[in-house]
Amino acid sequence: MSARATSTENHPVAPTAAVPPPPLAEGALRVVALGGIGEVGRNMAVFEYEGRLLIVDCGVLFPEDDAPGVDLILPDFGAIENRLDEVEAIVVTHGHEDHIGAVPFLLRLRPDIPVVGSKFTLALLEAKCKEHRLEPTLVEVAEGQHSSHGAFDLEFFAVNHSIPDALAVGIRTPAGTVLHTGDIKLDQLPLDGRLTDLAGFSRLGDEGVDLFLVDSTNAEVPGVVTPEREIGPVLDSVVGEATQRLIVACFASHVHRVQQVLDVAAKRGRKVCFVGRSMVRNMGIAADQGILRVPDGLLVDLDDALAMPPEMVLFVSTGSQGEPLSALSRMARGEHKQIKIRPGDTVVLASSLIPGNETAVFGVVNGLVRLGAEVVHQGGAKVHVSGHASAGELLYLYNAVRPSNVMPVHGEWRHLRANADLATLTGVPADRVVIAEDGVVVDLVDGIASIAGRHEIGHVYVDGLSVGDVGESTLSDRLVLGEGGFISITVAVDATTGRAVSAPTISGRGFSDDPKALDDVVPLVEMELSRTESEGIVDTHRIAQSVRRTVGKWVADTYRRRPMIVPNVLPVDS
């Protein structure tokens, strides 16, 4: 956990229910997030000016326990789905899934929306679109450049994050100037020398920033994030001490982290082998673009790596979050076909521990330790730093930009509130710091931001090939079935008389291992069927209701459990 979640200031807070916003005033600017505020993931902000729209980011959210079986959660496009012709462009600030992952789903609805981003970001997006068989219209930009899309005049600023080539975007409109940080930190000694452009922010601040959208992720954490380069010496010491095989797991998009691993490996005379599809692909793109510098002859393929002496090789792998199908998880279970963990091997988790993944990650650690590996993780060694600005860095941002209005983005409520309080500490009046969750409509009118209404924002679930057909009712059924299974009772009845013409078949799935568990309810169901018949009930729906009631009461009394009860009453013509 991090610092205090405070609520010392009275920031404007949106109504909790939907309130249709009034038409946007002439000459005013509107912003609404269709995802990403009040949650970490599926970031998407929509700006509107004079009937035209600009989208910043369009990412996915990875589901938690309350959405079982779901692969992805998309932003809710509902508020703009009838207005897609009015979209001038999508700006993608960087290449993480929670910023680009939903772009293909939006392009399915209108394939020709221009997508604006940096070279590396667009390369990752293009690979993703290819999987969806889409050929997006890409507009490549770089820090310092401008790009105009209708009335939206964009300027791009370099920012540090945990992926290269990330951008912040300034948006100039006749209604005022907006600055959106994207995901940001302020590494003062970045590995690639590409500093967050605080000077550019200051210059924009001199001109006047009317609305500042700011990454809230680490707003609760005091101080500043340790520079990425301080991980290098730690890795060097771990690699230097290792006498057997080394496996370093990290995010497949964290090129600078991988760069440091490569540099250490080269220095220590180990060859490097990339493991995991996304790691191989992304590092290929990064090397092609000159973002990853790979010393000649350093890389080996898996077969060569396996044939080498253990002290000569280092694997860079995905799976740092304990994903069950990842290479690292399979190694921890002893199920990886090629890489078998042996006593004395060293595994480094050079990554964050995303909340919610603890059980999975520690499961992997336990498996590795049990096989005899030494596991080094951020708890005991500085092998990870965050990609998001801590409170101390956010203060620099506010003091550089001196915004008139602030809107914290990218965070749960506790993060947004902490970020809002930081803005206020630097002198932004509390009533100009708007805590606007997903769907909340914020209008900038005459330089003042205020809440104008609220759209209902739903969760749009992707499950397999379908988008949107899995909704709250299906999920609620899954939760019931997942907790207690179901009991089905099937019986055929004469369609004319309602008389049972088969013995009722009762079976449970996910209810009990005991094959006799449901035996005692059969006579009760038969009695109930006799009763409905004797009362002349022929409506199969009513018969099913009676059966459900009988079985439900019996199972609650007998087992104190609540499986789903599924009666199937089949009418048969006599």
CB of 564 to a second copy, least distance (A): 6
Alpha helices in 402-501 (DSSP H): 413-425, 472-484
d(CA 39, CA 553): 40
Nearer to a second copy, 339 or 373 (CB): 373
What single-letter amino acid sits at 180?
H
CB of 519 to a second copy, least distance (A): 13
Closest CA relative to residue 346, chosen from 253, 267, 230, 237: 237
Q: Residue 274 pairs with which residues in a beta bridge?
A: 316
Q: Which residues contact 205 (CB under 8 A, 6 or more apart)?
A: 400, 401, 402, 403
Nearer to a second copy, 147 or 568 (CB): 568
Nearer to a second copy, 179 or 373 (CB): 373
* Contact between 9 and 429 (Cβ < 8 Å): no
d(CA 141, CA 123): 12
CB of 518 to a second copy, least distance (A): 11
Active-site annotation holds for 215 = yes
Q: Determine whether the annotation assigns residue 252 to a binding site.
A: yes
Which strand (E) or helix (H) includes residue 346?
A: strand 346-349
Strand duo 374-376 + 44-49: pairing: unpaired
* Contact between 399 and 201 (Cβ < 8 Å): no
Burial classification of residue 126, based on how many CB atoms lie within 10 Å of its CB (0-12 exposed, 13-18 middle, 19 or more buried): middle
Burial classification of residue 442, based on how many CB atoms lie within 10 Å of its CB (0-12 exposed, 13-18 middle, 19 or more buried): buried
Nearer to a second copy, 296 or 513 (CB): 513
Tokens of 74: 């998309």
Closest CA relative to residue 299, chosen from 327, 335, 325, 261: 261
Closest CA relative to residue 16, chosen from 435, 569, 567: 435
CB of 286 to a second copy, least distance (A): 28
Active-site annotation holds for 11 = no
Nearer to a second copy, 195 or 381 (CB): 381
* Contact between 500 and 534 (Cβ < 8 Å): no
Structure-token match 């521990």, residue found:
353
Catalytic member of 76, 165, 210, 215? 215
Q: Determine whether the annotation assigns residue 390 to a binding site.
A: no
CB of 512 to a second copy, least distance (A): 5
CB of 222 to a second copy, least distance (A): 8
Tokens of 147: 């790009």
Nearer to a second copy, 150 or 552 (CB): 552
State the CB neighbour count (10 A cutoff) for residue 292: 18
What single-letter amino acid sits at 400?
A
Structure-token match 């060293």, residue found:
346
Catalytic member of 388, 415, 455, 459? 388
Structure-token match 């690699």, residue found:
239
CB of 3 to a second copy, least distance (A): 4
Q: Which residues contact 217 (CB under 8 A, 6 or more apart)?
A: 40, 183, 386, 388, 389, 410, 411, 415
Nearer to a second copy, 193 or 343 (CB): 343
Q: Which residues are annotated as a binding site for substrate?
A: 252-254, 384-388
Q: Which residues are annotated as a binding site?
A: 69, 71, 94, 96, 98-99, 161, 183, 252-254, 384-388, 410, 463
Active site residues: 215, 388
